[in-house]
């Protein structure tokens, strides 16, 4: 017997209580929690392509909550707690693997910085362990421990509850669960404009006609400034490309997620055996999803410096996704100056791990027309008020370039 369809593909109604623009992880999670937590089921998710075609299916699947700045810590820890129960919640195996993330220190100063971060995390109830070089060597004997290593390893900070989640399963799981609660998932339907009169949003124009809505939420990840501009909003967001890489499969060797403090570089091993890794954004504004060779070179250099054996492996694939970068590296989940129009975006490097908490808090913000307490610091006006959430190393760094 053929498998049943995971979610329905209904014709769009002329009107919904809530329309969510964008069927990525954040849009789908928002629709699910609108129905589940707030009893609002007359909801449509409007996706211009197919479910999973955006960054939710392009990321490197890393989840963690090793944040330090108030405003970020509680939000990302809430997300990690939701990840821990997500397969059960959605009745869909999301392959949540809490294999631990180890961030390597390449100088004594970095160890001091990690000690401060770890202490802050623990004070906030988040798990963190400081490892000396000997302890790291026991866990990761295959790193370059030679005397002439380009970046000698001094120790690490570990978050044991961090790990990976199968990204496609997250999109499919939320889509199936939202659809089962009555949410309409409308694929291949592009939002081309917003219906705004007297400062109030009452619907969207789409490639399949106008759809009226009591409230509209934008959750379009790498297209936030483009879509928000249709509603007359100019955002402090730059769109950049971020690449990811996977090698040919090898036997299990990398048990954890490893990040590196010498450059932005991180690596894990997929269940199929490929080493999955990535680094920085390419560093210029673009909407193409193709990466540049200079970034491939930098990332490959990082990989080989860290684990010399990688030079013997063939790179199977690399791909890119568009990331919306804010100046302080932190996102927006908030109301907008237009009534009944809500914004979710600017996720920089951290949108996948945020998915459950983003849906949880964005649905609350829409349902109550009031920001959830966990996202009060993710407002649009934080730059004019001088309340940036500058968790170092996450933003587009325009002011440092």
Ligand X SMILES: Cc1cc2nc3c(=O)[nH]c(=O)nc-3n(C[C@H](O)[C@H](O)[C@H](O)COP(=O)(O)OP(=O)(O)OC[C@H]3O[C@@H](n4cnc5c(N)ncnc54)[C@H](O)[C@@H]3O)c2cc1C
| Residue 220 is a binding residue for ligand X (CB under 6 A) | yes
- Residue 215 CA to residue 202 CA, distance in Å, equals 7
Q: Is the Cβ of residue 86 or residue 242 nearer to ligand X in the bound state?
A: 242
| Residue 48 is a binding residue for ligand X (CB under 6 A) | yes
Binding to ligand X (CB under 6 A) within 27-46 occurs at 27, 46
Closest CA to 217 of 332, 324, 51: 332
Q: Is the Cβ of residue 25 or residue 155 nearer to ligand X in the bound state?
A: 25
Q: Out of 321, 329, 346, 356, point to the residue binding ligand X (CB under 6 A).
A: 321
Q: Among the residues of 181-279, which ranges form H helices? A: 224-230
| Residue 53 is a binding residue for ligand X (CB under 6 A) | yes
Task: Let me know: does 221 contact 54? Beta carbons within 8 Å.
Answer: yes
Q: Is the Cβ of residue 62 or residue 136 nearer to ligand X in the bound state?
A: 62
| Residue 323 is a binding residue for ligand X (CB under 6 A) | yes
| Residue 23 is a binding residue for ligand X (CB under 6 A) | yes
* Surface-to-core class of residue 108, CB atoms within 10 Å of its CB (0-12 exposed, 13-18 middle, 19+ buried): exposed
| Residue 94 is a binding residue for ligand X (CB under 6 A) | no
Q: What is 76-137 written as a DSSP string?
A: HHHHHHHHHTHHHHHTS----B---EEEEE-SHHHHHHHHHHHHHHHHTT---EEEEHHHHH
- Residue 189 CA to residue 192 CA, distance in Å, equals 9
Q: Out of 144, 190, 205, 263, point to the residue binding ligand X (CB under 6 A).
A: 190
Q: Out of 177, 244, 275, 357, point to the residue binding ligand X (CB under 6 A).
A: 244
Residue range at the interface with ligand X (CB under 6 A); choices 5-13, 117-125, 130-138, 240-248: 240-248
Residue range at the interface with ligand X (CB under 6 A); choices 10-18, 97-105, 220-228, 371-379: 220-228
Total binding residues toward ligand X, as defined by CB under 6 A: 40
Q: Is the Cβ of residue 154 or residue 223 nearer to ligand X in the bound state?
A: 223
Residue 351 beta carbon to ligand X: minimum distance, rounded to whole angstroms:
2
Residue range at the interface with ligand X (CB under 6 A); choices 68-76, 155-163, 214-222, 309-317: 214-222
- Residue 6 CA to residue 9 CA, distance in Å, equals 10
| Residue 222 is a binding residue for ligand X (CB under 6 A) | yes
Six-digit token string for 52: 């999973």
User: Strands 101-105, 184-186: parallel, antiparallel or unpaired by DSSP?
Assistant: unpaired
| Residue 279 is a binding residue for ligand X (CB under 6 A) | no
- Residue 376 CA to residue 379 CA, distance in Å, equals 6
| Residue 280 is a binding residue for ligand X (CB under 6 A) | no
Closest CA to 363 of 355, 352, 372, 354: 372
Sheet of 101-105, strand order: 129-132, 155-159, 101-105, 257-260, 265-269, 275-285, 238-247, 315-325
- Residue 61 CA to residue 168 CA, distance in Å, equals 9
Q: Is the Cβ of residue 220 or residue 254 nearer to ligand X in the bound state?
A: 220
| Residue 101 is a binding residue for ligand X (CB under 6 A) | no
Task: Let me know: does 327 contact 387? Beta carbons within 8 Å.
Answer: no
Residue 337 beta carbon to ligand X: minimum distance, rounded to whole angstroms:
20
| Residue 359 is a binding residue for ligand X (CB under 6 A) | no
Residue 46 beta carbon to ligand X: minimum distance, rounded to whole angstroms:
5
**Residue 219 in 3-state DSSP?**
coil
| Residue 59 is a binding residue for ligand X (CB under 6 A) | yes
Residue range at the interface with ligand X (CB under 6 A); choices 57-65, 72-80, 116-124, 146-154: 57-65
| Residue 223 is a binding residue for ligand X (CB under 6 A) | yes
Which run of H or of E encompasses 62?
A: strand 62-63
Question: Which residues is 343 bridged to in the sheet?
Answer: 218, 334
| Residue 54 is a binding residue for ligand X (CB under 6 A) | yes
Q: Out of 217, 261, 351, 359, point to the residue binding ligand X (CB under 6 A).
A: 351
Q: Is the Cβ of residue 323 or residue 340 nearer to ligand X in the bound state?
A: 323
Residue 126 beta carbon to ligand X: minimum distance, rounded to whole angstroms:
16
Six-digit token string for 320: 């890119």
Q: Give all strands (DSSP E) within 123-178, no chain letters.
A: 129-132, 155-159, 163-164
| Residue 278 is a binding residue for ligand X (CB under 6 A) | yes
Instruction: Work out the angle at residue 112's Cα, subtended by the Cα atoms of residues 106 and 117, and round it to the nearest 5 degrees.
Output: 105
Residue 328 beta carbon to ligand X: minimum distance, rounded to whole angstroms:
15
Contact positions toward ligand X, by CB under 6 A?
21-27, 46-49, 53-56, 58-62, 190-191, 219-223, 227, 242-244, 278, 321, 323, 347, 349-353
């Amino acid at each position: 017997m053929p498998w049943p369809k995971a979610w329905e593909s209904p014709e769009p109604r002329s009107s919904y209580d809530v329309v969510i623009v964008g069927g990525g992880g954040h849009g789908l999670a928002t629709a699910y929690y609108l129905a589940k937590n707030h009893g609002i089921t007359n909801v449509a998710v409007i996706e211009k392509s197919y479910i999973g075609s955006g960054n939710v299916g392009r990321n490197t699947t890393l989840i963690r909550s090793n944040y330090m700045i108030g405003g970020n810590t509680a939000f990302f820890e809430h997300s990690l707690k939701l990840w821990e129960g997500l397969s059960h919640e959605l009745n869909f195996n999301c392959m949540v693997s809490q294999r631990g993330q180890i961030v390597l220190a390449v100088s004594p100063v970095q160890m001091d910085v990690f000690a401060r971060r770890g202490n802050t995390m623990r004070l906030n109830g988040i798990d963190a362990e400081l490892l000396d070089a000997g302890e790291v060597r026991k866990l990761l004997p295959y790193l370059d421990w030679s005397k002439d290593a380009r970046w000698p390893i001094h120790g690490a900070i570990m978050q044991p509850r961090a790990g990976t989640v199968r990204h496609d399963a997250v999109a499919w799981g939320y889509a199936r669960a939202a659809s089962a609660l009555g949410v309409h998932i409308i694929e291949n339907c592009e939002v081309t404009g917003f219906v705004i009169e007297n400062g109030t949003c009452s619907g969207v124009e789409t490639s399949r006609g106008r759809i009226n809505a009591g409230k509209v939420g934008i959750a379009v990840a790498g297209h936030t400034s483009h879509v928000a501009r249709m509603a007359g909003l100019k955002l402090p967001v730059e769109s950049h490309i971020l690449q990811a890489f996977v090698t040919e499969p090898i036997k299990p060797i990398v048990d954890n997620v490893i990040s590196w403090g010498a450059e932005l570089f991180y690596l894990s091993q997929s269940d199929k055996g490929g080493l999955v890794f990535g680094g920085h954004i390419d560093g210029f504004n673009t909407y193409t999803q193709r990466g540049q060779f200079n970034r491939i070179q930098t990332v490959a250099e990082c990989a080989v410096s860290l684990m010399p054996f990688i030079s013997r492996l063939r790179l199977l694939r690399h791909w890119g996704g568009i990331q919306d970068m804010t100046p302080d590296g932190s996102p927006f989940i908030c109301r907008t100056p237009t009534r009944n129009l809500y914004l979710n975006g600017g996720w920089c490097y951290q949108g996948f791990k945020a998915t459950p908490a983003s849906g949880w808090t964005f649905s609350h913000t829409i349902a109550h027309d009031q920001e959830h307490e966990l996202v009060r610091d993710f407002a649009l006006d934080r730059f004019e008020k001088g309340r940036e959430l500058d968790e170092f190393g996450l933003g587009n760094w325009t002011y440092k370039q």
